Each structure stands twice: as structure tokens, then as C-alpha cells.
Amino acid sequence: MVTTERLYSGMQPSADSLQAGNYIGALLPWRRMQAEYDAFFSVVDLHAITVPQDPAELREKTRRTAAQYIAAGIEPSKSTLYVQSHVKAHTELAWILSTITGFGEAGRMTQFKDKSQRFGESATSVGLFTYPVLMAADILLYQTDVVPVGDDQKQHVELTRDLAERFNARFGKTFVVPKPVIAAEAARIYDLQNPTSKMSKSAESHAGVLWLLDDVSVTAKKIMRAVTDSDGVVRYDREAKPGVANLMTIYGALTGSTHAAIEDEFAGRGYGDFKKAVRDAVVAEFEPVRAKALELLDDPAELDRVLAVNAGKAEEVAERTLTDVRDRIGLLRRG
């Protein structure tokens, strides 16, 4: 019998708009993969509250993130697209998994070490520490086979695998042990003003960040002002020419051209021409996504309805796993 493998991924609702890196590095591959997998995509609001959030803004960002998934081509009738906090099983399984996670093991997570150092001890919550355990719960509840993520999340998926194996060894085969699918360097987008740092929603300056929901004239200007170099040749060299290489990655991801084809296309032409081509490709790609997302956000009741239907589908799968987990660890069934 041929069975469709299950895929799980998610993004935090940490900004009003997603940025070009989220689109190229996550949404485009997700859209492609939804045809081959039984895919679950969540908006991980419970992860977002591991750092302080304004309540009204969090609600709005959650809807906006979901709308952008759909606008980018994640089809809520094909994939299960839902809001993490709508399925209560996530927090319950996270608690149970936390009891088999070593304190030292969690303390070795580099994202926690980076973030806690950045925020300082007084602003570092226990939730930030247990963030990867909640992520493991997200993945394991759905008996996930593959988890497409950026390489910054690889360590969290490795922890998830360790927890699944540990639980299975102790209580009998309960969880599928998931595999990470790490996005290639070809899908990593850097800041246009600072092309050695990753483009990020939480960047301090927005000058080098391309927002999916920005007016396209703003996006166009940011591309024309992108940092390059003085050598004037369109050639892929990540080390020596990070600005040009980054624009080539963006252009290649959206047009399907290889680096060699881009070098040929712009041989003997200046950066001005090249930037215009990048601008046109990005604007043509973003404009319909932006329009569709704004249209969806114009009818929040309908968007909420779609998310509720999908939360129902997710809940069914999650509850099945959770019931099994509860039985296996010896929690008394409610009579």
C-alpha cells in the first residue's frame, strides 16, 4: 500500500508581514511540497508568546500570518492550515515531553543560549527555555515524517527525534521519528543593506527587509538601493560579493534561473539593469500575493471560519496521539 508521508511546519506570528526570506525559504517550498505530502502548517502563536507580545497585535499578526500562507498558495482544502493554540493537545503533550527532557539537554539549545543572552536573565522566561519541547509536541502529535525548516531549527528537530526515540523506548512505539528537511543555501536570503546577516522579521532596521505586504513601490525602492560592490560584474561569489550574490539568489528563486544563466543574462551590463530585473521579478511575484492576503484580511470572519475547520481536522489527529500517550504513561482515564 502506498501511504502519503506526513509533513509538519510552522512559523511564528512575530510581525505584521512576512519577509522575502520567509516567502522564498519557507512558503515556496511548502507550497511545492503540499502536493506530495499530507501537510500540516501551523501559525505558532504559543511560541510567539515566549517573548512579550501586545495582545491585540498578537491576534492581528496571527490572522495576517495565516492569510499570507493562503495567499502564497497553501490551500486550506489540501493542507491542514491552523492556529497552534486552537488545538489544546499541543500544550498537554509539551508538558508530558518536558518530563522526559533533560535540563542540560534543553540548556544546550543554541537558539535559547543566543536569545537568553540577548534578553538578559530577568527577561528570559521558562517558556523560552522549553520552547523546543513545545516544538517537539507540535511535530510528534501528528506522527510527522518530515519537517522542512531552516538550518537554525535543525537542532530542535534533532531534540524532537531524541525525545520520540526515548519515549518509544520507555513506553512502546508511540511516535513516528521525524526527519528534518533543511532548506538549501540557495533558499537563504540575506538583508539587502547588510548582506552577511539573514533577512529577518525582527531585524533592527527595516531598510534591507522586503516585506510581502508592503506597497510594491517601497519594495522596488529597497531593491534599487540594495548594497552591492564597486566591481560592477554580476557574478556569484557569496564571500567576496555578498550583496550581488543575494540578489542573484532572490532572482534565481523567483525566475528559476541558475547562477550561470543569470551571469550570462547580465554579462557586460551594469548593476542598474540587473537590479531593475530583480525588482520586476519581485514585484510581479509579491503583488498578487499581497492583493490576495489583503482581500482575505478584509473578511476576518471567513478567515476565522477556515482556520476553525482546519483546527478541527488537526485536533482529530492530535487527540488520537494524545490519548495513546496518556494511556501509555499511566494517566488514569476519566471514568
Please confirm, yes or no, whether 115 is among the known catalytic residues: yes
Is residue 201 part of the annotated active site? The answer reads yes
Residue among 9 and 246 whose Cβ is closer to ligand LTN:
9
Secondary structure string (H, E, C) spanning 244-258: HHHHHHHHHHHHCCC
- What secondary structure letter does DSSP report for 142? T
d(CA 215, CA 145): 38
For 224-247, the DSSP string reads HT----SS------TTT-HHHHHH
* The one among 115, 154, 198, 320 contacting ligand ATP by CB under 6 A: 198
* Residue from 12, 68, 85, 144 binding ligand ATP (CB under 6 A): 12
Integer Cα distance of 105 and 310 in angstroms: 34
Q: From ligand ATP, ligand LTN, none, which one binds at residue 187 (CB under 5 to 8 Å depending on kind)?
A: ligand ATP
Judged by DSSP in three states, 166 sits in helix
Which residue's CB is nearer to ligand LTN, number 166 or number 198? 198
Closest CA to 129 of 141, 138, 121: 121
Shortest distance, position 63 Cβ to ligand LTN, whole Å: 18
44 binds ligand LTN (CB under 6 A): yes
Contact 68, 293 (CB under 8 A): yes
Q: Which does 21 bind (CB under 5 to 8 A by kind): ligand LTN, ligand ATP, none?
A: ligand ATP
DSSP letters for 295-329: HHHT-HHHHHHHHHHHHHHHHHHHHHHHHHHHHHH
Closest to ligand ATP by CB, 72 vs 93, is 72
Choices 24-32, 52-60, 114-122, 161-169; region in contact with ligand ATP by CB under 6 A? 24-32
Separation between Cα atoms, residue 260 and residue 193, nearest integer Å: 24
Report, in Å, the least distance between residue 66 CB and ligand ATP. Answer: 14
Q: Does 164 bind ligand LTN (CB under 6 A)?
A: no
Number of helices (H) and strands (E), helices first, in the chain? 14, 5
The one among 31, 47, 86, 161 contacting ligand LTN by CB under 6 A:
47
Q: Is the CB of 147 or the CB of 199 nearer to ligand LTN?
A: 147
CB of 10 to ligand LTN, least distance (A): 4
Q: Which residues bind ligand ATP (CB under 6 A)?
A: 11-12, 14, 19, 21-22, 24-26, 149-150, 183, 187-189, 198-202
